């Protein structure tokens, strides 16, 4: 039995190099990924990099308090993200705060007044007939919404063959475009088109010029397209086709509004084979409006048999019509599940009884953010320096292991934070920096627990190598319990709080997990290797493991147990 235990101990101590190699390979791989991605620094939050933070509070209509729910708030976030992206803004953040607030963080370099106007207004959803559409500019990144090449039909699935609308014949030059626009307007495809053309205050030539000059590949023009146009007027708009190409549209007056939609759902067609589709239900008045417009559009040729679903001046889908529809309809066209759900949410939002009130707007300059970051880094450096001085003074040679462990932990934290920016949108704000500073103490505490367990074993008279192995199980339990409590606190804080406080909780939780990884795969194996070196094994006075300095007992020795007198007498008699 004794030989078996000895063999187990030898096996446990014989391959610490594997753990060290594993964590170093992981560090090199992550660092390589960081440089390969081009994101070599953590992404900074609004409070450090500068920008504008807008807080919006949901305001329901009278007797519609239940409208403030997770589904509607998530849909509002999706709409606002679409608006902010329409400004050409990169790295903007839109997220819910609690149950009724939305936080919009927009980085520096963006017109804050224009952004406030875009995100603070209620979404406007309209169904407009398409009079003309043409490709506009080069390819763009495909939008997350529905494919605009879908088809519309009754809910019976009569369009199972899935024919798509024919592509319009592009017109050549502004003159041809203007002639096509004029003919489309004079064709009066909808009951209100002539009124739009004559009574909107904009003559045919003005709308022709807008359509001819519109370049939807430019964010500024996409935002301004149709701005300030009344629902009863014709307008121009931008949208993307299924291939991600920007298209420009000439649209007639709105025939159906978002409020006319009673219900919209994304469903999977298991019988007709159409795949994912969006089913629509209308109110009584909406059914009449929809029947009137689809009855006219069904008699037209492409693209004038299409109606555009327009949200905030952006065409999110342009299905074509085969026949007159009534109170229910469906939109299909090779949708993916996410595309169908996004379109259903957009259609539902048109009748959403929610508006938003601007609660606060905070603007942070880049200079102020830089000062805050510098102050945070100085505080972290001071805290780290104090920890290192304490380790050097108290643990001497052992501090070498602790400092190396801190450096590995810091490197892992930096690299992972740099990678999390482009992958999940993590932004390092000032509270997150505070969380990293607090983590220095948590990490150092784990080393101290392990070192003190080893020193206790040496005080009991054991040599260093068995002391390390006997101390590790008890130190391991203490470290795991301590880090579990810290991680649980960070997780609870992350769940119950919002905004910048979540940055503190996320960083604290991340560094706590990394503390466990470093202690298990670096600190303990490194100390096992160092215990084989004479400097530590013989307890040099500068090693931090000097038995005399620690007040160790005499070395434990095995002695024979004395034989009882009665037994000895029996044995001698038998002899």
Q: Of 191, 166, 164, 196, which Cα lies nearest the Cα of 181?
A: 196
Q: Report d(CA 466, CA 265) in Å as an integer.
A: 67
DSSP line for 94-162: EEEETTTEEEEEEETTS-HHHHHHHHSSPP-EEEEEEEEEEEEEEE-PPPSS--TT-EEE-TT-TTTT-
Boundary of a domain, candidates 94, 121, 148: 121
Boundary of a domain, candidates 325, 354, 383: 354
Q: Of 248, 216, 245, 278, which Cα lies nearest the Cα of 88?
A: 216
What residues have CB less than 8 Å from 194, skipping those under 6 apart? Answer: 188
pLDDT in tens, 2-28: 344 444 444 444 578 888 999 999 999
Instruction: Give the Å distances, CA to CA, from 326 to 152, 162, 186, 294.
Output: 12, 20, 27, 8
pLDDT in tens, 309-363: 887 778 888 888 877 776 777 887 777 887 787 777 777 766 555 778 888 888 7
pTM for the structure as a whole = 0.56
Instruction: Give the Å distances, CA to CA, from 368 to 365, 375, 430.
Output: 5, 11, 12
Residue 507 CB burial class (10 angstroms; 0-12, 13-18, ≥19): buried
Tokens of 202: 């904009």
Considering the domain architecture, whether residues 349 and 468 belong to the same structural domain is answered as no
Q: Of 362, 105, 152, which Cα lies nearest the Cα of 256?
A: 152
Considering the domain architecture, whether residues 395 and 523 belong to the same structural domain is answered as yes
Q: Report d(CA 350, CA 180) in Å as an integer.
A: 31
Instruction: Give the Å distances, CA to CA, from 559 to 556, 562, 567.
Output: 10, 9, 19
**Phi then psi dihedrals of residue 439, to 5 deg:** -65, -25
Tell me, yes or no, whether 277 lies in a domain. Answer: yes
**Phi then psi dihedrals of residue 244, to 5 deg:** 85, 10
- CATH code, domain carrying 88: 3.30.70.3400
Q: Report d(CA 124, CA 92) in Å as an integer.
A: 22
150-165 b/e with 16+ CB inside 10 Å = b? bbbbbbeeebeeeeeb
Considering the domain architecture, whether residues 339 and 400 belong to the same structural domain is answered as no
Q: Of 518, 385, 397, which Cα lies nearest the Cα of 454?
A: 397
Tell me, yes or no, whether 402 lies in a domain. Answer: yes
Tell me, yes or no, whether 15 lies in a domain. Answer: no
Considering the domain architecture, whether residues 369 and 308 belong to the same structural domain is answered as no
Extract the residue ranges of the chain whose pLDDT is less than 70. Answer: 1-14, 82-92, 108-118, 120-123, 137-205, 272-274, 326, 349-353, 366-369, 498-499, 554-575
Considering the domain architecture, whether residues 245 and 391 belong to the same structural domain is answered as no
Tell me, yes or no, whether 437 lies in a domain. Answer: yes
Q: Report d(CA 152, CA 279) in Å as an integer.
A: 10
Q: What per-residue confidence (pLDDT) applies to 122?
A: 61
Q: Of 320, 349, 268, 329, which Cα lies nearest the Cα of 76?
A: 349
Considering the domain architecture, whether residues 396 and 325 belong to the same structural domain is answered as no
Considering the domain architecture, whether residues 401 and 331 belong to the same structural domain is answered as no
Helical segments of 38-105, H only? 46-49, 70-86
Q: Of 417, 157, 401, which Cα lies nearest the Cα of 271?
A: 157
Q: Report d(CA 334, CA 346) in Å as an integer.
A: 18
Boundary of a domain, candidates 354, 384, 418: 354
Considering the domain architecture, whether residues 95 and 79 belong to the same structural domain is answered as yes
Considering the domain architecture, whether residues 65 and 38 belong to the same structural domain is answered as no
Domain that holds residue 99: 51-121
DSSP line for 188-250: --STTHHHHHHHSS--HHHHHHHHHH--TTSHHHHHHTTTT--TTS-EEEEEE-TTSEEEEEE
Phi-psi sector, 40: left (phi>0), alpha (psi -120 to 50), beta: alpha
Considering the domain architecture, whether residues 478 and 410 belong to the same structural domain is answered as yes
Instruction: Give the Å distances, CA to CA, from 61 to 58, 66, 254, 354.
Output: 10, 10, 24, 6
Number of domains, the chain: 3
Considering the domain architecture, whether residues 462 and 411 belong to the same structural domain is answered as yes
SS3 361: strand
Q: What per-residue confidence (pLDDT) applies to 112?
A: 63
Tell me, yes or no, whether 550 lies in a domain. Answer: no
Tell me, yes or no, whether 236 lies in a domain. Answer: yes
Tokens of 368: 């102020």
């Amino acid at each position: 039995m004794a030989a078996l235990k000895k063999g187990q101990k030898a096996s446990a101590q014989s391959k610490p190099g594997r753990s060290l190699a594993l964590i170093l390979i992981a560090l090199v791989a992550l660092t390589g990924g960081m440089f390969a991605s081009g994101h070599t620094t953590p992404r900074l939050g609004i409070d450090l990099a500068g920008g504008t933070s807008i807080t919006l509070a949901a305001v329901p209509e009278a007797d519609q308090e239940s409208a403030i729910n997770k589904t509607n708030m998530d849909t509002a976030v999706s709409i606002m993200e679409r608006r902010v992206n329409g400004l050409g803004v990169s790295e903007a953040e839109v997220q819910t705060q609690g149950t009724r607030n939305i936080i919009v963080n927009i980085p520096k370099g963006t017109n804050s007044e224009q952004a406030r106007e875009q995100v603070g207004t209620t979404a406007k959803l309209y169904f407009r007939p398409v009079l003309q559409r043409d490709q506009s500019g080069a390819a763009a990144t495909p939008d997350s919404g529905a494919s605009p090449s879908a088809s519309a039909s009754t809910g019976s699935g009569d369009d199972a063959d899935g024919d798509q609308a024919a592509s319009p014949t592009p017109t050549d030059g502004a003159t041809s475009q203007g002639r096509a626009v004029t003919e489309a307007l004079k064709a009066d495809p909808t009951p209100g088109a002539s009124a739009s053309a004559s009574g909107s205050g904009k003559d045919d030539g003005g709308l022709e010029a807008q359509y001819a000059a519109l370049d939807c590949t430019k964010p500024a023009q996409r935002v301004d397209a149709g701005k300030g146009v009344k629902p009863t007027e014709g307008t121009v708009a931008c949208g993307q086709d299924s291939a991600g190409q920007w298209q420009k549209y000439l649209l007639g007056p709105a025939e159906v509004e978002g409020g006319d939609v009673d219900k919209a759902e994304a469903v999977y067609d298991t019988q007709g084979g159409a795949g994912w589709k969006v089913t629509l239900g209308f109110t009584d008045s909406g059914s009449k409006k929809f029947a009137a417009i689809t009855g006219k559009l069904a008699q037209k040729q492409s693209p004038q048999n299409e109606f555009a679903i327009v949200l905030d001046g952006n065409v999110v889908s342009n299905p074509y019509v085969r026949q007159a529809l009534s109170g229910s309809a469906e939109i299909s066209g090779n949708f993916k599940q996410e595309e169908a759900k996004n379109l259903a949410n957009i259609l539902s939002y048109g009748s959403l009884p929610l508006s938003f009130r601007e609660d606060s707007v905070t603007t942070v300059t880049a200079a102020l953010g830089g000062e805050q970051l510098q102050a945070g880094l100085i505080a972290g450096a001071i805290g780290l320096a104090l920890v290192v001085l304490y380790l050097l003074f108290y643990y001497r040679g052992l501090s070498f292991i602790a400092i190396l462990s801190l450096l590995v932990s810091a490197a892992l934290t930096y690299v992972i934070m740099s990678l999390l920016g482009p992958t999940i949108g993590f932004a390092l704000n000032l509270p997150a920096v505070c969380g990293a500073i607090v983590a220095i103490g948590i990490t150092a505490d784990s080393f101290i627990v392990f070192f003190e367990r080893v020193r206790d074993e040496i005080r009991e008279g054991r040599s260093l190598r068995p002391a390390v192995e006997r101390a590790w199980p008890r130190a391991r339990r203490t470290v795991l319990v301590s880090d579990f409590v810290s991680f649980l606190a960070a997780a609870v804080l992350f769940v119950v709080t919002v905004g910048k406080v979540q940055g503190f909780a996320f960083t604290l939780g991340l560094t706590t997990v990394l503390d466990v990884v470093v202690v298990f795969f670096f600190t303990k194996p490194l100390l096992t290797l160092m215990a084989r070196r004479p400097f530590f094994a013989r307890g040099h006075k500068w090693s931090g493991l000097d038995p005399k300095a620690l007040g160790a007992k005499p070395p434990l020795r095995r002695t024979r147990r004395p034989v009882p007198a009665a037994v000895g007498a029996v044995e001698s008699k038998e002899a």
